[in-house]
Amino acid sequence: MKSKVLIVYTGGTIGMTPTPNGYAPKSGYFKTALDAITDLHSAQLPLWDMIEMDPLLDSSNMTVEEWNKIGQTIADHYDDYDGFVVLHGTDTMAYTASALSFMLENLAKPVVLTGSQIPLCELRSDGRENLITSLMIAGEHRVREVCLYFGNRLFRGNRATKDSSDGLSAFHSPNYQHLASVGIDVKYNESAFLPIQEGAFHLQLLKPIPIGVLKVFPGIQFDLFENIMTEKLRGIVIEGFGAGNIPGDGDALLPIIEKAFRNGTILTVCSQCLKGSVSLGAYETSSVLKKAGAVSGYDMTTEAAVAKLYYLFSREDDASVIKEKMEMNLRGELTIRGGSAAS
């Protein structure tokens, strides 16, 4: 029997048309555009249906509410389809992919996020290939996790990051292997897949927890951040230099983050370097963070760390459990040195 895939169309460049204010999505247009591509009904592709989200969004406008809507749509149709393709703007696709990877617990079907840099209505659009290959991957049922397909490569969703605003290979996965490379054939890298999840599929909806991201820079005046780093901010991702270092001896920052931590704020340290891992305490300039109770984000992307904070705060009440789980590998989103990347 032919497999069936549900396309969840959320907006993004792929379905945009020109307006006097620049490209924007237009409701009702995309289905007609897809119907005009006869190859999408080829016998080599799975059967597919499409659900259009309302409103369609430029992905810069995505919030936890939209992540919940996408997750709910997949959960509502989970038993009816073999796989799912989420059409999404590229700007925040890696955030949504990360969020879904946590929200869709015990996922046993492919969920592939894709989109394009050039709208489908344009002659040189990359959307046609991205969509066709994503449909094939979602229909093949080989990889059973949240992935992101773009520019001939299939990434683990929570390892991907957008690294080009105008290239057609707009994403990469600096700290994890590709799940598949696409040339004449789709070459799966099965040893990189997440192990099959046991247990019943479950959707964990997210709460709009107040979260912050602080990127340190030379000359940062930490005292100016004191008013922001209150107990109102439940989670903070600190993007440190290199292996998770912050400027100076941390004298100014230490009391602020200690206070935030005492108030239940979880501080997670990621790196401004895309490749490599945080190693808290390796340098004097990061030991202050460790002393203050910050947790290591290891080699997680900032996108994955943000999504994981939303997920854990939506699921757990106990700050010490959240802190512990931030440092654990839940969906293949981080590599603990000497530990497994994919379990």
Residue from 5, 6, 8, 12 touching ligand ASP (CB under 6 A): that is 12
What residues numbered 103-132 form the site for ligand ASP, per CB under 6 A?
A: 115, 117
- What lies within 8 Å, CB to CB, of 211 at 6+ separation is 233, 234, 235, 236, 237, 306, 309, 310
Residue from 3, 13, 268, 279 touching ligand ASP (CB under 6 A): that is 13
With contacts defined by CB under 6 A, name the span among 5-13, 38-46, 178-186, 267-275 that binds ligand ASP: 5-13
Residue closer to ligand ASP (CB basis): 11 or 83: 11
Question: From the CB of 100, what's the least distance to ligand ASP, in Å?
Answer: 16
Q: Binding string to ligand ASP for residues 22 to 61, with x set by CB under 6 A, is what?
A: ------------------------------------xxx-
Residue closer to ligand ASP (CB basis): 117 or 285: 117
Residue closer to ligand ASP (CB basis): 19 or 106: 19
CA distance 93 to 109: 19
CA proximity to 206, closest of 8, 323, 65: 65
The H or E element containing residue 12 is: none
71 binds ligand ASP (CB under 6 A): no
Preceding amide of 55 cis, omega within 30: yes
Size of the site for ligand ASP (CB under 6 A): 11
Residue closer to ligand ASP (CB basis): 139 or 157: 157
Q: Which residue sits closest to ligand ASP, CB atoms considered? A: 89
Residue closer to ligand ASP (CB basis): 13 or 268: 13
Helices of type H across 7-63 = 29-35
Residue closer to ligand ASP (CB basis): 11 or 240: 11
What residues numbered 226-285 form the site for ligand ASP, per CB under 6 A?
A: none
Reading the block at residue 12, the tokens are 């993004």
- The DSSP letter of residue 328 is S
Q: Binding string to ligand ASP for residues 72 to 91, with x set by CB under 6 A, is what?
A: -----------------xxx
Provide the annotated active-site residues.
13
Q: Binding string to ligand ASP for residues 191 to 230, with x set by CB under 6 A, is what?
A: ----------------------------------------
Question: From the CB of 210, what's the least distance to ligand ASP, in Å?
Answer: 23
CB of 233 within 8 A of CB of 210?
Answer: yes
- The DSSP letter of residue 60 is G
Q: Which residues pair with 92 in a beta bridge?
A: none
DSSP labels, 191-259: GGSPPPPPS--EE-------EEEEE--TT--GGGGTTTSSTT--EEEEEEBTTTB-STTSTTHHHHHHH
User: What sign does the CA torsion over 97, 101, 104, 107 have?
Assistant: positive
Reading the block at residue 326, the tokens are 């931030």
Binding site for ligand ASP (CB under 6 A): 11-13, 58-60, 89-91, 115, 117
